[in-house]
């Protein structure tokens, strides 16, 4: 939902209508409980067949999800069959709320719902809570059992039986990493997939299966069961148990976003709407930032995280980055390798989150940054050692606060101590614990190797951004992310929430490190055999396309010094108020507009093929003139053969104008619109 598409005022328009009215809003197909979206297009139907619950979803006359089983498999309890239909409680709500940061700060939540109570002889009450929005559906299990202590969930039986085949975009369903390449596959040939699992159905409609409010449960992936049918596959504990819960529990929401255009999926707020309102009383510590840092040098292999002659995070380097940030209006800096522990990582040693490296004078760096008006993002690489991190959490956060720090980038590279799955309940609980603890201390988080984003940023808006997909780092030590990557991310990974992709590499083919005596291979091929599969204009566009409330210009600062195109980042404001995905086809191209204060930004990217898009500027306020500075691919640009060719031009525009966005193969375009006073 975008800030532009509705004009209702007040916070609660209509909630929990009178029963008589509510009942008239719902229909019952042959007596089965049914709920319809406010616009009447989406319908969810629940049915019991021989005591087993099923659901189906349709859009107008088009069936989208055919009868699909619901239920859970639990140790010693029956949560799956023998049910009879109890009370059906219908409800509806239309309200609006604000978030402390974008990509849209103002959101409308308009839905109709039903709670369907199912009971069986074992004393189980399984309530299925279903909500239908104009842009999709969500449902979750609300379970009350007869267990006296805890319930062991052994499997989830939720099916997604797509009513027709289609084209799908997904990463494989791996329980330990999301840093995988996207596959474009016929729906019926996907073996397993993680979510968001996005499909263009043969009916022409777009759908994406995901989850919302994942806080105390394993993640859900999808396993193919034949034809166009999938079943939920949960990340297990090492002993195979999926979740350990109390006698009464609620699962995360299972969601299916639905749209007529691909961009409808992006403009949907369904995932946020299925999360609880903000739980933090004072959110004043939360502020979006753009940042630079000692980071890319390590991935390229010209610097090290360890304290040797190639050490990146030295006091001197830190000061250079702070000077650069301060001169260029960049809000914050990040220094990786600032602390003790990197030398013994993987050799039994542990990270210390309060002991700076010998050549990194924390107090001096902090006071230098403060004097220059630059904020400091701390780095906590845990190496997956959860007991070590949790034992230091309070001291580490208190220490950060005592140094005036309000943002931490965390990391969970490598296997998890104890053999736990990265995306199982053990880790989901850990991430939630860290998030709540960070909120207590007034700290924003940027989580790498995270659990998937499921909209918990509504409840804990200090959850700023996370990785959870192949980011820029892969371009330093592998064949890299293909040009289509950025045209798939908005329709898949980013539906869950913002990503710290770390865009903005200007030295695309790493020509400036050729001959550098410090250069070493460390995680794959040497950097000079790698490159970023992009044009320069696309790197600029990525700052807009790959939204993050903590947005990094990730290149070495020497590649930005004196570069005319860095002006875009200077003029970029990470505190985005409003966004709208304007145009795009998954895996082909994507165009998005954003606003921060009075400035507007446009980002457009294409995959391997050149692409021209006519773009009406009707998102600009009427009657106002703007100076548009356009960062475009040069006429001879091509990501493979001529990636550095770009142009910068200016034009005076207004809302009645249109832009011809011309993009080279693997290219892009970025525009900043500054009002003319
Ligand atoms: C992986 C993270 O994604 C990356 O940003 C970080 O530099 C390394 N781990 C080291 O912590
Ligand atoms: Ca990573």
Whether the CB of 467 sits within 6 Å of ligand 1: yes
Ligand 1 atom nearest residue 409's Cα: 5
Summarize pLDDT for 255-271 with one digit per residue, the tens.
999 999 999 999 999 99
Whether the CB of 15 sits within 6 Å of ligand 1: no
pLDDT at position 462: 99
Separation of 422 CA from ligand 1 center, angstroms?
A: 15
Q: Which residues pair with 422 in a beta bridge?
A: none
Whether the CB of 156 sits within 6 Å of ligand 1: no
Half-sphere exposure of 551 (CA within 13 A, CB side): 28
Helix (H) / strand (E) containing 538: helix 536-545
Q: What single string gives the DSSP state of each residue in 38-77?
A: TTS-EEEEEEEETTEEEEEEEETTEEEEEEEE--EEETTE
Q: pTM of the prediction?
A: 0.95
103 preceded by a cis bond (ω within 30 of 0)? yes
Q: Probe ligand 1: pick from 411, 474, 477, max atoms within 8 Å of CB?
A: 411
Catalytic annotation, pick one of 219, 456, 467, 473: 473
The secondary structure of residue 184, as a DSSP letter, is E
Whether the CB of 627 sits within 6 Å of ligand 1: no
Distances (CA, A) of 627 to 429, 600, 677: 48, 10, 10
CA-proximal residue: ligand 1, atom 3 (nearest):
448
Convert 618-629 to b/e letters by CB count within 10 Å (16 or more is b): ebbeeeeebebb
pLDDT at position 30: 58
Ligand 1 atom nearest residue 471's Cα: 3
The secondary structure of residue 304, as a DSSP letter, is B
**Cα 219 from Cα 422, distance rounded (Å):** 10
Strand pairing report for 229-234 and 220-226: antiparallel
pLDDT at position 349: 83
Is residue 198 helix, strand or coil? strand
**Cα 81 from Cα 61, distance rounded (Å):** 30
The secondary structure of residue 358, as a DSSP letter, is T
Whether the CB of 336 sits within 6 Å of ligand 1: yes
Summarize pLDDT for 481-507 with one digit per residue, the tens.
999 999 999 999 999 999 999 999 999
Show the tokens assigned to 24.
């008239």
> How close are the terminal C-alpha atoms of the chain, in Å?
30
Ligand nearest to C-alpha 409: 1
CA-proximal residue: ligand 1, atom 11 (nearest):
381
Whether the CB of 450 sits within 6 Å of ligand 1: no
**Cα 468 from Cα 448, distance rounded (Å):** 7
Separation of 74 CA from ligand 2 center, angstroms?
A: 34
Of 482, 480, 484, 447, nearest to 466 by C-alpha is 447
Catalytic residue check, 473: yes
pLDDT at position 586: 99
Separation of 413 CA from ligand 2 center, angstroms?
A: 7
Q: Structural domain boundaries of the chain?
A: 20-273, 289-563, 592-675
Separation of 450 CA from ligand 2 center, angstroms?
A: 9
Ligand 1 atom nearest residue 299's Cα: 7
Q: What is the assigned CATH class of domain 289-563?
A: alpha beta
Show the tokens assigned to 583.
């145009």
Q: What is the assigned CATH class of domain 592-675?
A: mainly beta
Strands of 375-381's sheet in order across: 463-466, 444-447, 407-411, 375-381, 332-335, 289-294, 550-552
Query: How many residues belong to the chain?
Result: 677
Separation of 448 CA from ligand 1 center, angstroms?
A: 7
Half-sphere exposure of 419 (CA within 13 A, CB side): 5
Ligand 1 atom nearest residue 305's Cα: 10
Q: Decide yes or no: CATH 2.70.98.10 for domain 20-273.
A: yes
Asked whether 291 and 325 are in contact (CB, 8 A), the reply is yes
Q: What single string gives the DSSP state of each residue in 503-527?
A: ---SSTT-GGGTT-TT----SSS-G
Distances (CA, A) of 299 to 114, 246, 324, 325, 573: 50, 44, 20, 21, 26
Whether the CB of 473 sits within 6 Å of ligand 1: yes
Q: Look at phi and psi of residue 611 and say left if phi exceeds 0, alpha if psi is from -120 to 50, else beta.
A: beta
Separation of 481 CA from ligand 2 center, angstroms?
A: 13
Average pLDDT along the chain, 677 residues, taken 10 residues at a time = 32 36 41 96 98 98 98 97 97 98 98 98 95 99 94 98 98 98 98 98 98 98 98 98 98 99 98 98 98 98 98 98 98 98 88 97 98 98 97 98 98 96 98 98 98 98 98 98 99 98 98 98 98 99 99 98 98 98 98 99 99 98 98 98 98 98 99 97
Whether the CB of 358 sits within 6 Å of ligand 1: no
Ligand 1 atom nearest residue 379's Cα: 11
Strand pairing report for 375-381 and 407-411: parallel
**Cα 292 from Cα 556, distance rounded (Å):** 8
Ligand 1 atom nearest residue 467's Cα: 3
Q: Probe ligand 1: pick from 413, 422, 524, max atoms within 8 Å of CB?
A: 413
Asked whether 505 and 565 are in contact (CB, 8 A), the reply is no
Ligand nearest to C-alpha 179: 2
Separation of 475 CA from ligand 1 center, angstroms?
A: 13
């Amino acid at each position: 939902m975008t800030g532009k598409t509705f004009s209702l005022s007040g916070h609660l328009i209509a909630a929990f209508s009178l029963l008589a009215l509510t009942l008239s809003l719902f229909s019952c197909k042959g007596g089965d409980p049914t709920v319809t979206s406010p616009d009447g297009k989406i319908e969810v139907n629940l049915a019991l067949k021989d005591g087993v619950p099923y659901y189906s979803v349709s859009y107008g006359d088009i069936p989208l999800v055919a009868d699909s089983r619901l239920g859970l498999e639990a140790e010693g309890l029956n949560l799956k069959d023998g049910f009879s239909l109890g009370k059906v409680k219908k409800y509806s709500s239309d309200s609006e709320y604000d978030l402390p940061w974008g990509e849209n700060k103002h959101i409308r939540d308009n839905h109709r719902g039903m709670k369907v109570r199912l009971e069986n002889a074992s004393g189980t009450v399984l309530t299925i809570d279903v909500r239908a929005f104009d842009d999709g559906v969500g449902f979750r299990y609300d379970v009350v059992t007869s267990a006296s202590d805890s319930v062991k969930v052994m499997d989830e039986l939720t099916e997604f039986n797509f009513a027709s085949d289609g084209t799908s975009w997904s990463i494989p369903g791996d329980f330990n990493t999301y840093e995988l390449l996207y596959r474009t596959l016929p729906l019926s040939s996907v073996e397993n997939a993680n979510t968001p699992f996005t499909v263009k159905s043969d009916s022409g409609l777009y759908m994406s299966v995901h989850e919302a409010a994942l806080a105390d449960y394993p993640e859900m992936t999808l396993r193919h069961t034949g034809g166009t049918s999938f079943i939920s596959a949960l990340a297990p504990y090492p002993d195979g148990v999926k979740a350990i819960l109390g006698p009464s529990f609620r699962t995360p929401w299972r969601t299916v976003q639905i749209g007529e255009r691909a961009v409808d999926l992006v403009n949907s707020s369904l995932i946020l709407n299925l999360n609880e309102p903000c739980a933090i009383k004072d959110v004043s510590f939360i502020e979006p930032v753009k940042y630079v840092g000692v980071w890319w040098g390590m991935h390229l292999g010209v610097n090290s995280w360890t304290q040797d002659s190639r050490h990146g995070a030295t006091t001197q380097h830190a000061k250079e980055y702070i000077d650069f940030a301060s001169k260029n209006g960049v809000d914050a800096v990040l220094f990786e390798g600032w602390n003790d522990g990197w030398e013994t990582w993987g050799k039994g040693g542990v990270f210390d989150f309060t002991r700076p490296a010998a050549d990194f004078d924390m107090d001096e760096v902090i006071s230098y940054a403060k004097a220059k008006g630059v904020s400091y993002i701390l780095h906590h690489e845990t190496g997956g050692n959860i007991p070590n991190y949790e034992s230091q959490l309070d001291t580490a956060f208190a220490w950060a606060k005592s140094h005036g720090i309000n943002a931490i980038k965390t990391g969970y590279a490598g296997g998890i101590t104890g053999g736990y799955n990265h995306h199982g309940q053990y880790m989901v609980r850990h991430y939630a614990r860290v998030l709540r603890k960070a909120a207590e201390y007034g700290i924003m988080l940027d989580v790498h190797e995270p659990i998937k984003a499921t909209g918990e940023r509504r409840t804990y808006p200090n959850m700023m951004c996370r990785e959870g997909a192949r980011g820029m780092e892969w371009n330093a030590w592998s064949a890299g992310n293909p040009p289509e990557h950025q045209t798939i991310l908005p329709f898949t990974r980013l539906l869950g929430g913002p990503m710290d992709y770390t865009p903005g590499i200007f030295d695309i083919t790493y020509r400036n490190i050729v001959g550098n005596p410090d250069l070493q291979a460390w995680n794959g091929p040497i950097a000079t055999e790698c490159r970023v599969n992009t044009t320069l204009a696309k790197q600029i566009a990525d700052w807009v396309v790959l939204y993050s409330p903590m947005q990094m210009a990730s290149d070495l600062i020497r590649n930005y010094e004196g570069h005319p195109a860095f002006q875009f980042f200077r003029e970029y404001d990470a505190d985005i108020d409003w966004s709208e995905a304007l145009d795009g086809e998954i895996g082909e191209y994507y165009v998005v507009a954003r606003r921060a204060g009075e400035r507007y930004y446009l980002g457009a990217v294409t995959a391997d093929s050149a692409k021209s898009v006519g773009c009406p500027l009707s998102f600009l306020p009427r009657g106002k003139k703007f100076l548009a500075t356009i960062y475009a691919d040069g006429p001879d640009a091509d990501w493979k053969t001529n990636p550095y060719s770009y142009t910068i031009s200016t034009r005076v525009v207004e809302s009645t104008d249109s832009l011809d966005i011309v993009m080279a193969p693997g290219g892009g375009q970025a525009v900043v619109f500054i009002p003319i006073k």
